[in-house]
Amino acid sequence: MNSAQEHPISVSVERVAPLLEQARAADLDVPELLRSLGLDPDISRAPKGRVISLADYYRVQNRLSILFGDETLHMSSRQLLQGSTDFVLQHVNDCNNLYEAMRVIVRSYNLLHGGQYNSVVKRRTSVEYIIDDRNFTYAPDQEIEYLYFSIECILIFLHCMLMIISPLAENAITSLHIRRPSPGGDCAHLAYWDAPIKFGADTYKVAFARDVALSAITPPPPDALTSNAVYQKIVDVVAGKHAKYEQLNSAASRVRDALARGIVEQTDVAAQMGISVATLRRRLSTEGESFRDLRRTVLNETATRLLLEGRPVADVSETLGFSEFRAFNRAFKDWNGITPKAFLQRKK
């Protein structure tokens, strides 16, 4: 798509550029990364004004957060290790309503970030989730426009996080406050929101209808409360607004993301996608892929990255879910023609 009119909920390619620059700095194969997501491998050289779907932006973000091992994508001076959001979500399972879930999320992220940046306030007609980033420890040299965009994307992530906790969150928002001074410029991503937006606020604020936020909920089982599920919810919501789901997120891409997050058994991946193993195999076959090949590729990519980061071979073996060290050695040699030890010696 080449215009904001064609992609009403979009992100300019200029927004993607900082993420791709980080990927290149980490020696990642950016064209191959984009191809694996079904995106144009030359997108970084696209003419100014070109846009991609907001859903595709989050898919790039999700993949890079996995590869970087930092859920802030280097935006914060305090790294959020991979699995941080999964950790937060595992603590909402006993919540009785969305207000309680928000309080858990607030406490958890404040602990992870090392400061009181998040809060939740119960008012007469609303429950407000507030982010005050004015004293946040951002990484150096962050442009203010990029920070506006990044926090606005975090608000969308928060909304979808609450939606996987309870569908009640979907239509509960009554207003949105953001620090961006005015609606001008490159902010087509804000078309995600159906609620009124106040610009130039002191803090970021998402207001939920009080009666909905306090209504009883039944959270889903723990295996449905994951970062992967949040990213998938974003894709689903955006896809439901302006595109066909299958065009935005292939089965192979969803499998890759699950594998990269440590879900390595085909039955578990299919369950997280909400389909049977037979359906998963059929969809992958239609796309010219197989679970076995994807598993080998993703596990090998993860293994080599962790080894080059200096992780002990036994630790890498355990992280990848191998039952024993020797099984990992055999698999790695099958993938690369050499053992992990030989691979590290060659890289010295």
Is residue 176 situated within a structural domain? yes
In the chain, alpha helices (H)? 13-25, 30-36, 54-68, 84-89, 98-113, 144-165, 210-213, 227-242, 245-248, 251-260, 266-273, 277-286, 291-308, 313-319, 325-336, 340-347
Place of tokens 């992220």: 109
5 pLDDT higher than 50 = no
37 and 125 together in one domain = yes
31 and 86 together in one domain = yes
Tell me the residue range of the domain where 81 lies: 10-213
110 and 165 together in one domain = yes
- Look up the CATH number of the domain holding residue 279: 1.10.10.60
Is residue 326 situated within a structural domain? yes
Name the domain boundary from 163, 185, 213.
213
255 and 195 together in one domain = no
Q: Which of 245, 240, 244, 241 lies closest to 273, judged by CA?
A: 245
Is residue 333 situated within a structural domain? yes
Name the domain boundary from 213, 241, 266.
213
Is residue 243 situated within a structural domain? no
**pLDDT tens per residue, range 308-347:** 878 888 888 877 777 788 888 999 999 999 999 898 888 7
150 and 41 together in one domain = yes
> What b/e sequence results for 224-251 when a residue is b if at least 16 CB atoms lie within 10 Å of its CB, and e otherwise?
bbbbbbbbbbbbbbbbeebbeeeebbbb
209 and 258 together in one domain = no
40 and 163 together in one domain = yes
Is residue 168 situated within a structural domain? yes
190 and 88 together in one domain = yes
206 and 300 together in one domain = no
183 and 106 together in one domain = yes
Is residue 33 situated within a structural domain? yes
**pLDDT tens per residue, range 151-205:** 999 999 999 999 999 999 999 999 999 999 987 667 888 888 988 888 999 999 9
What percent of the chain stands above pLDDT 90?
Answer: 46
HSE-up (13 A, CA, CB side) for residue 259: 21
85 and 196 together in one domain = yes
As for how many domains the chain has, the answer is 2
Name the domain boundary from 155, 184, 213.
213
Q: Is 110 left (phi over 0), alpha (psi -120 to 50) or beta?
A: alpha
* pTM of the predicted structure, to 2 decimals: 0.74
**Are the C-beta atoms of 130 and 205 separated by less than 8 Å?**
yes
